[in-house]
Chains A and B, each alone.
Chain A
Amino acid sequence: MHEINSEEKAQFQLERLQSTLNRAYKNVLFHQNRQNIDGISGGIERFRVESIEDLATFPFMERKHLGNNYPYGLFAVPLKDIVRIHTAPGTTVNPTVSGYTRQDLQLWREMVSTALAASNVSVSDILQINLDPGLANWGRDYKDGAETIGASVIPNTSLSLEKQLMVLKDYKTSVLITTPSSISQLADYILLKENLDPKDLNLKTLILTGEPVDSEFRNLLQQNFHLTTWLHYGLSEVPGPAIAFECREHEGLHVNENHFLPEIVDPETGQPLPEGETGELILTTLTTRAFPLIRFKTGDRARFIKGTCKCRSPFVRIEWFNDRIDNMLNISGVKVNQELVLFQIEQALGFVPANCCFLKKRNGARNYLEVSLSVDDRLFSDEIKVLERLMKTVGNKLQEHIGVPVTIRLKEKKSFENRAGLVV
């Protein structure tokens, strides 16, 4: 794609967008209904995109649509064509299920390897993947992409900080893929607890994914560990950790426009925003066979960066911001939906306590979700054991459904006044 001009890019994006919409219309009832519009003569006409700009008049696709069509309602190919099925925590009672054809997996491998190559990963690298279990799908994609490049891959497994460091040191890892939260814990462990000189490590490339990262923290990592950091952006709904990635200039993330069409819209009005203004990132898949997303609201806050990158890539760049448009919490790259947490609490208790508060917290090696519930007559018991069992049940249920560790705290109602975090 690097050799094409903007006119050619617009043409091929239009071609891919039209074929995506046509296939979605043909094979998925949900998309068919959304593309049917009332015609001038009173009958139903098909909405047709004649330019990329036309897409702006099309309705958004939200996370709730993925849950409402559980499990296979949004698949655009017969099940026999599906070779992989992924599940991610959704925003409704149902999880999000996405499917992949053999072609889709091949495309993801290419996408991830493109992003890794842009981060200077090569055949001579030893690449270690360290992502939370909630990002296990991404771990597989990174493994496939890195193997495509020919790097020696240490696949994603859940390891203690001690073991992570052992692998990092003894296996002479040169590239580490992890989340900013995880590297923060590992860095503390290496520098403060183990008191290890980073020069003893072979690490030269650190790929950060799942969460935005602030420049101060990056600089600190780069200085202390004598390495280069690279940021990747992905979506858990279409497990692709490398939808956007940094190039050698590190001036924003290039969206892989061979496969995705990005838009930035005003979260209030839904209208496209001028280049440079901050809004919600909307993504449309251009090549996905099994699970097309059309104008998918990511909930991520971003802006397009003006001008062409010095690397001369025609891929548009975004700046990705830490705060979200929606009320989801990003815990080590896993998106946690407030409504889903409340729903699961109701499922476990039979009611929703008068006050609930959700906070992202960290305890040593792990980030977790702290759920505080106000104690009232319905929740109260004079037996500590009963309360403990109840908290454990709720915690386990939540953990199972949202994919991150959960701690439940029971508190007095008055302690919810003036609390930080998501209070409901």
Chain B
Amino acid sequence: MLLIKNLKCYYNKIMAIKGVSVSVRKGELISLIGANGSGKSTFLQAICGLLPGWEGEISFDNSSLRGFEPPAIVKKGISMVPEGRLVFSSLSTLDNLKLGAYTMYRKKHHNYVKEDLEMVMNLFPILRDRSDQQAGTLSGGEQQMLAIGRALMARPRLLLLDEPSMGLAPLLVEKIFETLTILKNKGLTILLVEQNARSALKIADRGYVLETGSIVLQGTSSDLLEDVEVKRAYLGRDYGEFYDGRA
């Protein structure tokens, strides 16, 4: 469904993504894990058309995304939940969700909007209670739910999430990841970018490990969860230094 070959992204002359190849098949939940500054957000921004000037190939359903602006990419069926939620603070929860359905209105699919609002409210019942509340006054977890709900209102076929667990309490993280599993089970294809490797890999089919702009490991999520390198770097277990003197 999403095929990325040798993606290179630059900030001025500095190469932030150094020839990354990643594939996401229909119905899969893929986790891209990496530390701060490894290039995870840059990678998503390139897919969404927010970072022009990338090199390589990005294709979605066999058609290249080169040259497409973000609205056109949303129309193609890709929605992103950005890092830090970025909800419209002064608008109500309901209006934020309706804004997510912008492309549906443009396509004259007004009937979908009501249906999708119901779907989102069922997925996150708290948003129904907060529907008239200003989004800026919601808690971090509620804002994250709103951001996901807003992305779903565009009826994406591929959902991209940039660190949805950031700044959330463990219970809320669990709730968010449970929701992603529900969405995956409904057939939605998901590319999840996360620092929280354990939670991300637990729900994923496969995973990629990004380090300073390059993929250094990839495999099934169960394989990566058991990998000592991943454990050492991302799951908080101390395995000592390279060539630790055992010999």
| A27 pairs with B23, CB closer than 8 A | no
Q: A11-B21, A15-B23 are in contact. Are A22 and B215 (CB under 8 A)?
A: yes
A19 within 8 A of B: yes
| B211 pairs with A26, CB closer than 8 A | yes
A101 to B208, CA, bound (A): 19
A289 to B18, CA, bound (A): 21
Q: Which A residues are in CB contact (< 8 Å) with B175?
A: none
Interface string of A3-16 (1 = CB under 8 A from B): 00000100110111
A302 to B246, CA, bound (A): 41
A357 within 8 A of B: no
Q: Which B residues are in CB contact (< 8 Å) with A48?
A: 6, 18-19
| B239 pairs with A103, CB closer than 8 A | no
| B216 pairs with A101, CB closer than 8 A | no
Among the stretches B129-137, B157-165, B176-184, B219-227, the one at the interface with A is: B219-227
A79 within 8 A of B: yes
| B6 pairs with A16, CB closer than 8 A | no
| B211 pairs with A14, CB closer than 8 A | no
Main secondary structure of the interface of A (DSSP, over half): helix
B247 within 8 A of A: yes
| A18 pairs with B223, CB closer than 8 A | no
Q: A48-B19, A79-B247, A80-B240 are in contact. Are A16 and B218 (CB under 8 A)?
A: yes
Contacting B at CB under 8 A, from A276-329, are 287, 289
| B21 pairs with A103, CB closer than 8 A | no
| A15 pairs with B21, CB closer than 8 A | yes
A81 within 8 A of B: yes
Q: Which B residues are in CB contact (< 8 Å) with A287?
A: 219
Q: Which A residues are in CB contact (< 8 Å) with B20?
A: 18
A287 to B215, CA, bound (A): 13
B3 within 8 A of A: yes
Tell me how far the C-beta of B176 lies from the nearest C-beta in chain A, rounded to whole angstroms: 27
Q: A12-B23, A15-B22, A48-B19 are in contact. Are A78 and B218 (CB under 8 A)?
A: no
| B19 pairs with A19, CB closer than 8 A | no
Q: Which of B5, B18, B219, B223 contacts A14 (CB 8 A)?
A: B5
A77 within 8 A of B: yes
Contacting B at CB under 8 A, from A109-152, are none
B126 within 8 A of A: no
A409 within 8 A of B: no
Tell me how far the C-beta of B138 lies from the nearest C-beta in chain A, rounded to whole angstroms: 39
Residue of A nearest to B209 (CB): A19
In this complex, how many residues of chain B approach chain A with their Cβ under 8 Å: the count is: 32
| A103 pairs with B215, CB closer than 8 A | no
A23 within 8 A of B: yes
Q: A18-B21, A50-B19 are in contact. Are A77 and B5 (CB under 8 A)?
A: no
Q: Which A residues are in CB contact (< 8 Å) with B22?
A: 15
| B229 pairs with A77, CB closer than 8 A | yes
A34 within 8 A of B: no
A102 within 8 A of B: yes
Q: A12-B23, A26-B211 are in contact. Are A78 and B223 (CB under 8 A)?
A: no
| A15 pairs with B215, CB closer than 8 A | yes
A50 to B240, CA, bound (A): 34
Residue of B nearest to A50 (CB): B6
A14 to B209, CA, bound (A): 15
A416 within 8 A of B: no
B115 within 8 A of A: no
| A78 pairs with B240, CB closer than 8 A | yes
A102 to B239, CA, bound (A): 14
| B216 pairs with A23, CB closer than 8 A | yes
Interface string of A29-57 (1 = CB under 8 A from B): 00000000000000000001010000000
| B5 pairs with A72, CB closer than 8 A | no
| B227 pairs with A78, CB closer than 8 A | no
A-B residue pairs in contact (CB < 8 Å), sample of 14: A11-B21, A12-B23, A15-B22, A15-B23, A15-B208, A15-B218, A18-B20, A19-B215, A72-B243, A78-B244, A79-B247, A80-B228, A103-B223, A103-B228
* Seed contacts A15-B23, A26-B216, A80-B246; 6 additional CB < 8 Å A-B pairs: A11-B23, A22-B214, A48-B18, A50-B6, A78-B244, A101-B228
